[in-house]
A and B are shown apart, each in its own frame.
Chain A
């Protein structure tokens, strides 16, 4: 749905994007995770060409954005929704007026506009605030207005720039739940950028980890977590740095089999558990366990674990 390749962007001597490739599939929620200054916002702004990349191409819904002239670009943007960290609502308009704004710009007739606005406000659950001014709303309500406004043009893609970073945890959860619902119900493809692992964990299907203008790893979350050496796994399960010979076991799905006790019973090994965690990620549970193995049959024991479908990494 969104493809970017070879994106580069510099501001003077600051390199914000240093060769970025991105592939967001239709209907997924794709998260770009990175610290402040990593280039996430620049990447997102390059997707709808708010920022023109110095090099590289961007394609959204089959249309090459980087090849469009100003007029065509405006038309293309009307089909790409965007929500913002600080909501970016017009303070001079009511909630309904804000949602009507993109419709006005698209030239939708006044009579149709009112019906569409009501429908959108209903969809995001703030129909009762139609006549309120943004100043009278809470952060979560403002973001709902932002989402309704972004959906006005029936976009197939929604871009979210730190959409929950200005919200408290409870409100963040409700906005993320709304985004997830829109993703499922409308088949909306969402590209969101965030510095919070929590956001990625709770709604994203795929993720790209960004540092210093580059993407370090990217792909479906479950796949990344079961890839040895994954940065995502390391960040999601902050276990202490392993000593030489320590074993890290990653398991997905329910931990049904009592593998550790089987291990001890079947082989001549002692297992010492050093740390571990279980997380709900991308709709399933993923766990990580750090152990040290001692005994004559350690190597065989590890093979046994691998055969059971667990990801086993031994620290060198």
Chain B
């Protein structure tokens, strides 16, 4: 395969990967953030303590965390068909990617929120702040640097998950590597794919770190 043939293939696949990762990150934050808040909130010393709710949420998260992504991805295929109407292509891949990343991100949110000083939370109670406002005006803003770091780690995890999703025909760089690198022995393309993935991960980490740093410095 020549460079002229490789570049458009790589360009297209990179774009698909970026789309998959961006969309699944958005959905992961959308579902994972409230789940993480709920994990912390329902815990014994949380704002809305409930043993039953906490154990249930924790169980769901642990199940999600213990299944290897490659298995989870296949297991949710019927659900994906129900939701998207198809199981092939990058939009279909967003479903397993999100389901795989939500429990992971929720735990990161939990860790970030637990890092907020209990002193500050107590001070907010003493000021007569409602529990919901403590979440939105104290916990989340105080944890924002750690939350950004959590999103960064999640993006990187999603880059790797999205490559695995190539196995079920999700498109993107993983798909490219499987179809050309694995099935047709196009080693140069395989290497180029790896390089692009490494660049994507580096980029995500650098941007995420810079952003988290800026928040933490204040």
Say yes or no: B218 contacts A91, CB within 8 Å: yes
A269 at the interface (CB under 8 A from B): no
Are A78 and B141 within 8 A (Cβ)?
no
Stretch at the interface among A54-62, A82-90, A241-249, A271-279: A82-90
Contact of A105 among B117, B133, B144, B218 (CB under 8 A): B133
How far is the CB of A228 from the nearest CB of chain B, in Å?
39
Q: What residues of A have a CB within 8 angstroms of the CB of B125 in the complex?
A: 50, 77
Number of cross-chain contacts by CB at 8 Å: 61
Judged by a CB distance under 8 angstroms, whether A48 is at the interface is yes
Within 8 A of B (CB), among A161-202: none
Cβ–Cβ < 8 Å partners of A92 in chain B = 141-142, 144, 215, 218
Q: What A residues does B195 contact at CB under 8 A?
A: none
A52: chain B residues at CB < 8 Å are none
* A91 contact set on B, CB distance < 8 A: 142, 218
A95 smallest CB distance to B (angstroms): 12
Contact in complex: A88, B122 (CB < 8 Å): yes
Q: Which of A90, A104, A105 is close to B142, meaning CB atoms less than 8 Å apart?
A: A90
Question: Assuming the A-B contacts A90-B141, A90-B142, A92-B142, are A78 and B120 also in contact, with contact meaning beta carbons closer than 8 angstroms in the complex?
Answer: no
Whether B218 lies near A90 (C-beta < 8 A) is no
Query: How far, in whole Å, are A93 and B215 apart by their CA atoms in the complex?
Result: 11
Contact with B along A64-93 (1 / 0, CB 8 A): 000000000111111010101010111111
Q: Are A86 and B142 in contact (CB under 8 A)?
A: no
**B127 at interface, CB cutoff 8 A:** yes
Mask, B127-141, CB within 8 Å of A = 1, is 111100100011001
A105-B141 contact in complex given A84-B123, A88-B117, C-beta closer than 8 Å: no
CB within 8 Å of A: which of B91-121?
117, 119-120
Q: Which residues of A contact B120 (CB under 8 A)?
A: 88-90
Given contacts A91-B218, A135-B218, contact A78 B144 (CB under 8 A): no
Residues of B within 8 A of A102 (CB): 127-129
B126 in the interface (beta carbon within 8 A): yes
Report chain B residues within 8 Å CB of A75: 128
* A90 with B138: CB separation less than 8 A: yes
Establish whether residues B144 and A48, one from each chain, have CB atoms under 8 Å apart when the complex forms. Answer: no
CB distance from B138 to the nearest CB of A (A): 7
Please name all residues of chain A whose beta carbon is closer than 8 Å to the beta carbon of B128 when the two chains form the complex: 73-78, 102, 105-106
- What are 11 inter-chain pairs, A to B, with CB distance below 8 A? A73-B128, A75-B128, A77-B127, A78-B128, A82-B123, A90-B120, A90-B142, A92-B218, A105-B130, A105-B133, A153-B127
- Rank and list the top 5 A-B pairs by shortest CB-CB distance, nearest first: A77-B128, A88-B123, A74-B128, A78-B128, A82-B126
Given contacts A78-B128, A159-B126, 16 further A-B contacts (CB under 8 A): A48-B126, A74-B128, A76-B128, A77-B126, A77-B127, A86-B117, A86-B119, A88-B117, A90-B138, A91-B142, A91-B218, A92-B141, A101-B127, A101-B137, A102-B128, A105-B137
Footprint of A on B, CB under 8 Å?
Answer: 117, 119-120, 122-123, 125-130, 133, 137-138, 141-142, 144, 215, 218
